[in-house]
Amino acid sequence: MARKSSKETSNYLKLLSLRQVDDRISNKFQSKLLVNDSFISRLGLEKELEGHTGCVNCLEWNESGSILASASDDARFILWNPFCHKKIHSYETGHRGNIFTVKFLSKTKDNFIVTGAGDRKIRIHDVEVKETLLVCNCHDGRVKRIATAPSIPFLFWSAAEDGTIMQFDLRAPHSCITPSTNVLINFGPHLGRFAEAKCIAINPDVPEGYSKWPWRSLTDLPIGCVQYFVAGHLPVKEHCSKEKYKKLASTYLTFSSCGGELLVNLGADQIYLFDINNKRKTKIYEKNSEVCEPNGSSCSNGFYNSIKQSNGLTTSKQINGVSSSPSSSSTSSSHPPSSVADPEKLEALKMDANNAFEVRRYTSAINLYNKAVSICSDWALLYGNRAAAYMKRGWDGDMYAALRDCNITLQLDPNHMKAHFRLAKCLFELQFFEEACKCLEEFKNKFPDQAQSRAYKALDMDIQLVRQGKQSQNSSVAVETMSVPFNSENPYAKLWDEQFSNYATLSEQEKIWRNNACDYETRYCGHCNTTTDIKEANFFGSEGQYIIAGSDDGSFFIWDRYTTNIIQILQGDGSIVNCLQPHPSSCLLATSGIDPVVRLWSPRPEDGTVNERVVLNLDDAASENQKRMNADPFERVLLNMGFRLAADAGEGDEESYWSIRNLNPTATTAKFKNILRQIRRRK
């Protein structure tokens, strides 16, 4: 999956040469050059399309890219000519609520437009005759997303906050009756009255198969027809966040152009890419060739069969005294493998990363390790060092990313002492206490001289205290009070079950689906997604080589898909960027958000003009967003107003002001006084 710029250049030259003698190469050549690093670096604002009077909540290109549709809180949708920057049509839809979704119906010559809104209605419009063909009020909640399949005309699906997915066929007679005959999936029986469906996407490679969110249980279906995809640490995070004020919920999902990957923008967390063909099973801890995983068994297509890159970002410096630097243990090779084409470049990246780590610039260190891993994916030292950096930085999901890197390190070098100890530390921090105990015991047996170290004793004491506390708690609670059974072999099972303990007993199907959930391939960090539930993430480029997403800080982010590093941030809105839709056949991007305009972005000329919308310090912007994502609601409101709260502690500092996350009178009062002081200083 790694990209190499020199290889790309060679490929471009080869394609250019072949195009002169083979007409069939022309399309491939154009596709390769659709979006590249040079274009991304020069991306700038081309035009603001004005016409709406409210927030623009959704954008959609027609199949050819000749028309852009936008819809807004003003209950209108507008069709634009994106190249002339002019309106083609503006329509009053008749909705009495904010429009959240707009779609062109397939095979209708772009004449049929479907809209869904906060008034719980779906409307089908004929733009040629300027009529509303159908008004559907089958849903009992806000309609958040509509999906179509290019190869299936007259058919579309809807996802609404009533917890249902519905299917509509315009060729068949329709009447809105109760209960609706259009319900395809109903999450209610399994999630209770709070069930909601926020997103839906159709796999372009298998249009009869669709993806929906949230990923919960269906009834009376064969086991193999449902697959859960969830980042391995999130069941733990959901469990730990029950007392908090933020809730994990997907705000957008989309398939790659080939249909083999699923990109998910998870509210109050990060962006995740899942491989739906080569599914990655969650692996927690490996001992004596036996892998501890959620369902307690090893999987043939899992994490340990092949070495795959861990997700993007992490941090480190000293882990309880075992390591004062990210360098590997003496048993691990300190030099690149002989098979590396450019060992000097690789060594330079490693040294730069180590230096960044030493001065506590953990995000920079992680980015450099990411680049190094993209060049050489079988050097244990890189994964071990990156794990240390993840643990120090401490962003959401970093501890689990460190655990994955430790597992890879030990797969490549079973005698890597520091990786083994860090793995035990990660397991403890992720609340896999039994696995942490086993891992630390194996560490003691393998490295007996380390058993007297202060770091070992501290971690061992922490684990034993937690285990004693859990045993004491369990002995004081009658067994019959446990309303939901769980499989003790599954580290996640109890967390899943406790989260839904207020609902009916889980079906056997549900237990199996949850236990067989697949882990992510890569993770993209830096944006903030907490304020709106329509924030998108998308692939950009003919091969999806870039990932793009909006953010609560008014900017949008562009990541390298393979290294997961941020390569560009642009200021895209006065408040929040929600929507990003790439043009289907050119390097043109449409975005929208709170401002009542649609913005078009394209590569700017190389004329020396300064692009004022470029955010220069990528690491600082990403770090601020992580703080914003974990701020309490009052802090978040002020952040969205442009205030910068006092949080000058170093990156990853556990005593940082931002580590206060529980709402309580004392903490909230202190925060409020601090904010008032800053406001007074501004006057």
pLDDT tens digits for range 496-505: 444 444 434 4
CB 118 within 8 A of CB 74: no
- State how far the Cα of 493 lies from the Cα of 62, in Å rounded to an integer: 44
- State how far the Cα of 540 lies from the Cα of 546, in Å rounded to an integer: 5
Judge if 556 and 476 occupy the same domain: no
Judge if 467 and 591 occupy the same domain: no
- State how far the Cα of 368 lies from the Cα of 348, in Å rounded to an integer: 10
Judge if 481 and 339 occupy the same domain: yes
Between 412 and 672, residue with greater pLDDT: 412
Four-residue CA torsion sign, 362, 425, 274, 290? positive
Q: Which residues span the domain enclosing 260?
A: 34-281+521-603
- State how far the Cα of 166 lies from the Cα of 164, in Å rounded to an integer: 6
Asked whether residue 347 is domain-assigned, the answer is: yes
What's the number of domains the chain is made of? 4
Instruction: Say what the pLDDT of residue 14 is.
Output: 74
* Distance (Å) of CA 310 to CA 376, 383, 521, 563, 656: 13, 8, 7, 10, 27
Residue 8, pLDDT above cutoff 70 = no
CB 590 within 8 A of CB 59: yes
Judge if 468 and 393 occupy the same domain: yes
* Distance (Å) of CA 491 to CA 295, 446, 575: 8, 25, 40
Judge if 28 and 94 occupy the same domain: no
Judge if 342 and 381 occupy the same domain: yes
* Distance (Å) of CA 303 to CA 219, 453, 563: 30, 32, 19
Write the burial class of residue 644 (CB in 10 Å: 0-12 exposed, 13-18 middle, 19+ buried).
exposed
Asked whether residue 296 is domain-assigned, the answer is: no
Between 377 and 648, residue with greater pLDDT: 377
Q: What are phi and psi of 79, to 5 degrees?
A: -105, 130
* The two three-digit tokens of residue 395, written as one number: 């962003």
Identify the DSSP state of 614.
Answer: B
CB atoms within 10 A of CB 529: 28
3 state SS of 556: strand
CATH number of the domain where residue 422 is located: 1.25.40.10
Secondary structure string (H, E, C) spanning 412-442: HCCCCHHHHHHHHHHHHHCCCHHHHHHHHHH
- State how far the Cα of 613 lies from the Cα of 618, in Å rounded to an integer: 13
Four-residue CA torsion sign, 181, 183, 189, 192? negative
Judge if 246 and 126 occupy the same domain: yes
Instruction: Say what the pLDDT of residue 1 is.
Output: 43
* Distance (Å) of CA 96 to CA 78, 79, 93, 116, 118: 17, 20, 9, 11, 8
- State how far the Cα of 159 lies from the Cα of 198, in Å rounded to an integer: 6
Instruction: Say what the pLDDT of residue 641 is.
Output: 61
* The two three-digit tokens of residue 274, written as one number: 């899942």
Between 411 and 672, residue with greater pLDDT: 411
Write the burial class of residue 174 (CB in 10 Å: 0-12 exposed, 13-18 middle, 19+ buried).
middle
Percent of the chain past pLDDT 90, that is, above it, reads 62
Instruction: Say what the pLDDT of residue 326 is.
Output: 65
Between 666 and 304, residue with greater pLDDT: 666
- DSSP class per residue in 493-519: HHHHHHHTTTSPPPPHHHHHHHHTPEE
- State how far the Cα of 678 lies from the Cα of 659, in Å rounded to an integer: 20
* The two three-digit tokens of residue 1, written as one number: 């999956």
- Weakest mean pLDDT among 46-55, 233-242, 360-369, 526-535: 233-242
Residue 417, pLDDT above cutoff 80 = yes
Nearest CA-CA partner of 542 in 97, 192, 28: 28
Domain boundary among 476, 491, 506: 491
- State how far the Cα of 645 lies from the Cα of 657, in Å rounded to an integer: 9
Query: Residues 130-168: pLDDT tens digits?
Result: 999 999 999 999 999 999 998 888 899 999 999 999 999
Asked whether residue 198 is domain-assigned, the answer is: yes
Judge if 264 and 205 occupy the same domain: yes
- State how far the Cα of 416 lies from the Cα of 330, in Å rounded to an integer: 8
- Split at pLDDT 50, 70, 90, the class of 28 is low
CB 641 within 8 A of CB 631: no
Residue 679, pLDDT above cutoff 60 = no
Judge if 60 and 104 occupy the same domain: yes
Look up residue 143 and give its amino acid.
V
Judge if 233 and 346 occupy the same domain: no
- State how far the Cα of 350 lies from the Cα of 186, in Å rounded to an integer: 51
Look up residue 103 and give its amino acid.
K
* The two three-digit tokens of residue 404, written as one number: 């994955």
Residue 490, pLDDT above cutoff 50 = no
Identify the DSSP state of 479.
Answer: G
CB 409 within 8 A of CB 384: yes
Kindly state the average pLDDT of the residues 594-607: 97
Tell me the pLDDT of the chain averaged across its residues: 82
* The two three-digit tokens of residue 147, written as one number: 């999906």
- State how far the Cα of 613 lies from the Cα of 132, in Å rounded to an integer: 40
- State how far the Cα of 580 lies from the Cα of 570, in Å rounded to an integer: 12
Instruction: Say what the pLDDT of residue 49 is.
Output: 99
Percent of the chain past pLDDT 70, that is, above it, reads 72
Query: Residues 248-299: pLDDT tens digits?
Result: 899 999 999 999 999 999 999 999 999 999 999 988 887 754 445 544 433 3
- State how far the Cα of 523 lies from the Cα of 516, in Å rounded to an integer: 20
Judge if 474 and 335 occupy the same domain: yes
3 state SS of 88: strand
- State how far the Cα of 326 lies from the Cα of 106, in Å rounded to an integer: 54
* Distance (Å) of CA 523 to CA 274, 309, 329: 9, 10, 27
User: Of the ranges 45-49, 127-131, 282-286, which is most confident?
Assistant: 45-49
- State how far the Cα of 138 lies from the Cα of 492, in Å rounded to an integer: 37
Judge if 42 and 9 occupy the same domain: no
Asked whether residue 200 is domain-assigned, the answer is: yes
Residue 658, pLDDT above cutoff 70 = no
SS3 breakdown of the chain: % helix, strand, coil, rounded to 5? 30, 25, 45
Residue 322, pLDDT above cutoff 50 = no
Instruction: Say what the pLDDT of residue 655 is.
Output: 33
Residue 598, pLDDT above cutoff 80 = yes
Residue 459, pLDDT above cutoff 70 = yes
Asked whether residue 484 is domain-assigned, the answer is: yes
Asked whether residue 73 is domain-assigned, the answer is: yes
Instruction: Say what the pLDDT of residue 474 is.
Output: 65
Asked whether residue 247 is domain-assigned, the answer is: yes
Query: Residues 14-26: pLDDT tens digits?
Result: 767 777 777 666 6
CB atoms within 10 A of CB 199: 24
Asked whether residue 140 is domain-assigned, the answer is: yes
Identify the DSSP state of 475.
Answer: H
* The two three-digit tokens of residue 381, written as one number: 């030292």
- State how far the Cα of 164 lies from the Cα of 218, in Å rounded to an integer: 11
